[in-house]
Amino acid sequence: MSIRRFVSALAAASLATGAVVAFAPGASATARTASAPTGTTSLAAVLASDGNTFDRNWYDFDILDQAVGAVLAAKPDSPVAVLADGTVPLTAFIPTDRAFQLLAHDLTHRWYSSEQRVLTALAGAVGVDAIEQVLLYHVVPGATIDSKTALASDNAVLTTAQGGTIKVDVLSKRFGLVRLIDKDRNDVNPFLIPCKLDINKGNKQIAHAITFVLRPVDL
């Protein structure tokens, strides 16, 4: 995989604001009519609740938390700041630290043994602007999509804050197997992690953990 191609493709991606959820024909009406929660705890607050630092647990979200902080430090007006505004409804699909470790390996062909080194490698490989675009591609603004709604939304097409789209592929309602199809046709698409769904449930901002980082372009 070419890092230069990754950066060039992301730089060409247009940044959309105020995007909404779009449902493909045949998608469940349940997703359109789900009642809206009222809590205003932000996802940024939830992500930072374990101490806002790196650790040795590869299955939480420290790299994501620190990546959001790095983008906002470099670009205070970035749309990524919406994650800290709990009054704005949104759904985020959040990669684990392991998912970012796998992305760093894919881009640099090196295996990094600490979370901090993973983020440093990603920042060095693609830069803050590209990281911003990737983060925004994981955010679906304007809708609080809980896991029950997701399971009833096979073939739904979600429009992200980055301007791209993600397709929901429900493989098994019984076992809760949901795949998200991104814009990269050459890499494995992520799955929702069944034991890490509905993070921040009851609030306007909700999140679901995923196994790999979503990619907004075909690399």
Write the CATH number for 144.
2.30.180.10
Is residue 26 pLDDT above 90, yes or no? no
- Residue 41 covered by a domain: yes
Give how many domains the chain has, as a whole number: 1
- Residue 219 covered by a domain: no
Residue (of 92, 105, 96) closest to 57 by Cα position = 96
Residue (of 198, 1, 212) closest to 97 by Cα position = 212
Q: What is the pLDDT of residues 66-111, one digit of tens each?
A: 999 999 999 999 999 999 999 999 999 999 999 999 999 999 999 9
Q: How confident is the model at residue 24 (pLDDT cuts 50, 70, 90)?
A: very low
Q: Cα dist. 194→8, 69, 117 in Å?
A: 34, 27, 28
CA–CA distance, 51 with 116 (Å, rounded to integer):
15
φ, ψ dihedrals at 177, nearest 5°: -90, 110
CA atoms within 13 A on the CB side of 167: 12
Q: What is the pLDDT of residues 130-148, one digit of tens each?
A: 999 999 999 999 999 999 9
Q: Are 151 and 172 in contact (CB under 8 A)?
A: no
- Residue 216 covered by a domain: no
Greater model confidence, 13 or 92: 92
Query: Can you give the pLDDT at residue 214?
Result: 98
In this structure, the number of other CB atoms found within 10 A of the CB of residue 210 comes to 23
- Residue 123 covered by a domain: yes
Residue (of 200, 155, 197, 201) closest to 180 by Cα position = 155
- Residue 218 covered by a domain: no
- Residue 145 covered by a domain: yes
Print the domain residue range for 52. 3-210
Query: Can you give the pLDDT at residue 83?
Result: 97
As a whole number of Å, the end-to-end CA separation of the chain is: 7
Q: How confident is the model at residue 5 (pLDDT cuts 50, 70, 90)?
A: low
- Residue 26 covered by a domain: yes
